[in-house]
Chain A
């Protein structure tokens, strides 16, 4: 009904019933008022469309109800001439007057929509929308008699702004989430810096420069240019030359972009591809975990819009995400490098033949992701074939890095004690006193084996310091446990030991092993120990095998026994007297092997 209001007015001015109809949507009081006025006016009917309208009469006859409506309303005839407009419309088009051509008065989108509506080629409701000055309107047409069209304009500006703001906020949130997920997916510092610079140019600026914290006086600089490659340079740049950069690298909050004069920037700030002079700059810190992870410089050329306050704020949010990811990557890299350094020292050596005796060792740490643990072994070759080679295999109580550090201490101490190794008990006593601590009773058990080739046979002196006695595999497949006993190292004030002398004939092997083998839990029932007896049976099958094969086989069977279950460290060293046929080869390798092991010295 409301839509027909102006039309009714014109056609049946005196009809109060009609007015009541039309006024139902306003109020009864208003209706009476209008009716009163209408009565005083001449019951004139508007002329045909296109003819000039009588303004005073129209104003009166149309009435206050829509003339003072808060939304602009215009009436145009089918030929595109303005028939009527209310106060709100007059505010929009101050110069508009009745009879003006719509084309000359209102924006094209509205004039076109009117054309389509008036000649019937419209689709749907004929609703149109567009800008009028700096506002945004939806225009709803309603047909009137004579082909006139009433356009009801609804101001849509605020909703549009809110929608734009919401869309922007959603995009920024999505972008920040994307930034985090992209950056956190790598723990490589360099890749992380490159990704930061690239994303900054994708979403924030034309060019970006990421300045890493100094290493000495040099900074790693990561340049990115929109659409170009990311480049890296390490250079001794003067960070004080860029306003706010030195502060940003110390983690101070950024200075507002408008305080930085782009003309003051040194040339190294711009990537090689950056075309024009710099128009605006943001220098923002990359906050890390406690220490700054660097600073980010964002550049736009003078041709582009300067950074807005919102963009500066967003740049800080971006920098916060990037900084967190970078500092996580940096921490990880540092730890990884420390671990790698330690591991290099703590990893067991690779064993070969030395002075005509075959050695083979294998080690499997308790946790597969740590290559070091509480078991260890070393082979210290004698200075010449006539000298004894010292083999050590041991086990420190505990697991992981703590245990590994103690194994390092034991291996170093034993190395220093090498000149005294002819006397095992004395060596163990000295080692024990070096390791005793009032703070803990962490101990190690170990086996010392002094090995010398004599003719085709190999002579062994074996001493156990609280460790499992070595096993000997004879040529006939029998397995002997060596008769050596002694006390563990590092917890008792005094240690005792008894040394066993053993001779290996060609093809015979002595196996040193840790309890990781015999205490491997698993098997068909899942909770059975591998045990001494099984180890002896397996070893019996290894009679005549080379040292390398014996070690491989024991490790493999122990690993199979455990399956996917958890296991302790497993270390095995086999010492074999080569079979007659292998003698020349083994002797030849002896010298080479001997030189290799000097690296420990």
Chain B
């Protein structure tokens, strides 16, 4: 079992005083997107005191459309829980994907400034 290759997506969660930070390393794609959504959802439930969630993409090596779909879901869940979501250290690849798909503004908007938590109420 020790010879297994490292997982395609590695998530490291650190708890600050008021914020949760999740280091997102590796590939965020069709095979791994569930892992990110589940991890953040679980951490939100476990740490009701945290006011915000920071996703750190320093070590993100790949993201595809399904990965972006996971980010949109994470955004929807954090906003629904009344917390802020920050996308830190966005790589050129991620930045380009967010700009191309017109989601950068949506994902990085501060609460109360426009497209807020309404996404969660969509039917």
Residues of A within 8 A of B (CB): 395, 397-399, 436-438, 440-443, 445, 465-468, 485-488, 491-497, 515, 519, 568
B123–A442 CB distance below 8 A:
no
Among A399, A441, A515, point to the contact of B72 (Cβ < 8 A): A441
Q: Which residues of the partner chain A approach B100 to less than 8 Å between Cβ atoms?
A: 445, 466-468, 485
Taking the complex as formed, is B68 at the interface, i.e. its CB lies under 8 A from any CB of chain A? yes
Closest Cβ neighbor of A436 among chain B residues: B122
Q: Which B-chain residue is minimally distant from A399 (CB atoms)?
A: B30
Is A437 in contact with B30, judged by CB distance below 8 angstroms? no
Task: Tell me whether A438 and B106 are in contact in the complex, defined as CB-CB below 8 angstroms, given that A443-B65, A492-B115 are known contacts.
Answer: no
CB distance from A496 to the nearest CB of B (A): 6
What residues on A are CB-neighbors of B99 within 8 Å?
A: 485
**A44 CB to closest chain B CB, in angstroms?**
91
Q: Could you say which of B64, B100, B101 has the most chain A C-beta atoms within 10 Å of its C-beta?
A: B101
Measured between beta carbons, the chain A residues less than 8 angstroms from B102 are 465-466, 485-488, 492, 495-497
Main secondary structure of the interface of B (DSSP, over half): helix
> B118 on the interface (CB 8 Å rule)?
yes
Q: In the complex, what distance in Å separates the CA atom of A359 from the CA atom of B64? A: 29
Measured between beta carbons, the chain A residues less than 8 angstroms from B103 are 466, 487-488, 491-492
Query: Which residues of B, 65-106, contact A by the 8 Å Cβ criterion?
Result: 65-66, 68-70, 72-73, 76, 99-103, 106
Contact residues in B for A465 (Cβ distance below 8 Å): 102
Given A436-B122, A438-B123, A440-B73, does the pair A492, B106 have CB atoms closer than 8 Å? yes
Question: B106 contacts which chain A residues (CB < 8 A)?
Answer: 487, 492
For the complex formed, measure the closest distance between the CB of B86 and the CB atoms of chain A, giving whole angstroms: 18
A466-B100 Cα distance, complex, nearest whole Å: 5
Residues of B with C-beta under 8 A to A492? 72, 102-103, 106, 115, 119
Tell me the nearest residue of chain A to B102, going by C-beta: A487
Let me know if B65 and A441 touch, CB within 8 A.
no
- The answer, among B65, B68, B118, B123, for a CB contact under 8 Å with A437, is B123
Min distance, Cβ B80 to any Cβ of chain A, angstroms:
10
Which residues of B are in contact with A by a Cβ distance under 8 Å?
30, 64-66, 68-70, 72-73, 76, 99-103, 106, 115, 118-123
Q: Are B72 and A437 in contact (CB under 8 A)?
A: no
> In the bound complex, do residue A493 and residue B119 qualify as a contact, i.e. CB atoms below 8 Å apart?
yes
Take A399-B30, A492-B103 as given contacts and tell me if A442 and B69 are in contact as well, using a CB distance cutoff of 8 Å: yes
Given contacts A441-B69, A443-B69, 5 further A-B contacts (CB under 8 A): A440-B73, A442-B69, A491-B69, A492-B102, A495-B102
Known: A443-B65, A443-B69, A443-B72. A488 touches B30 (CB 8 A): no
Q: Assess whether A441 is in contact with B76, with CB atoms less than 8 Å apart.
A: yes
Q: Are the C-beta atoms of A438 and B120 separated by less than 8 Å?
A: yes
Cα separation A465 to B100 with both chains bound (whole Å): 9
Q: How far is the CA of A491 from the CA of B76 in the complex (A)?
A: 9
Residue of A nearest to B80 (CB): A438
A164 to chain B, nearest CB (A): 54
Q: Which of A397, A438, A485, A487 is within 8 Å of B65, CB to CB?
A: A397
Q: How far is the CA of A491 from the CA of B118 in the complex (A)?
A: 11
Contact of A438 among B64, B72, B122 (CB under 8 A): B122
A sample of 16 cross-chain residue pairs with beta-carbon separation below 8 angstroms, ordered by A number, consists of A398-B65, A399-B30, A436-B122, A440-B73, A441-B72, A441-B73, A443-B69, A443-B101, A467-B100, A487-B101, A488-B103, A491-B119, A492-B103, A493-B119, A493-B121, A515-B65
Q: How far is the CA of A437 from the CA of B119 in the complex (A)?
A: 9
